[in-house]
Amino acid sequence: MAKNQATSADAEAVLSPGGPMGVAVFDPAPRPDGLSGKRIAFLWDSMFRGDEMFPVIQEALSDRFEDVSFVGHEAFGSTFGGDEEAVLAALPGRLRELNVDAVVSGVGC
């Protein structure tokens, strides 16, 4: 064997610097055909300017779609910090309870 040739006994494990995937990949929910007549909820992590952005988004959606209604982020609690585990665990049931058809989720940085 040549002097600098590696053998399988010399092999080292190679790890990705990005680490393993932390979240399982899944297909997103189907999109609604449109937003007219739908109920839209706002979710917020209490970080970047959701309190400023959501009213602007709500107004734009109201101008574009007929009979759209909204549920404010206050109905759910913050999706980050504090009670986030409880908020996220309760989220599917809460969305059903409030008859929500779509969600706008604000994530700060």
pLDDT in tens, the chain (109 residues): 556 665 666 677 777 777 777 788 888 888 889 999 999 999 998 888 888 889 999 999 999 999 999 999 999 988 888 888 999 999 999 999 999 999 998 866 5
pTM of the model: 0.72
CA end-to-end span of the chain: 55
- Kindly list the strands in the beta sheet with 39-44, ordered across the sheet, starting from the edge strand earlier in the chain: 69-71, 39-44, 102-106
Q: What is the pLDDT of residue 75?
A: 94
Q: Quick count: other Cβ atoms within 10 Å of Cβ 88? A: 14
pLDDT at position 9? 66
The residue extents of the domains of the chain are 36-109
pLDDT at 48: 81
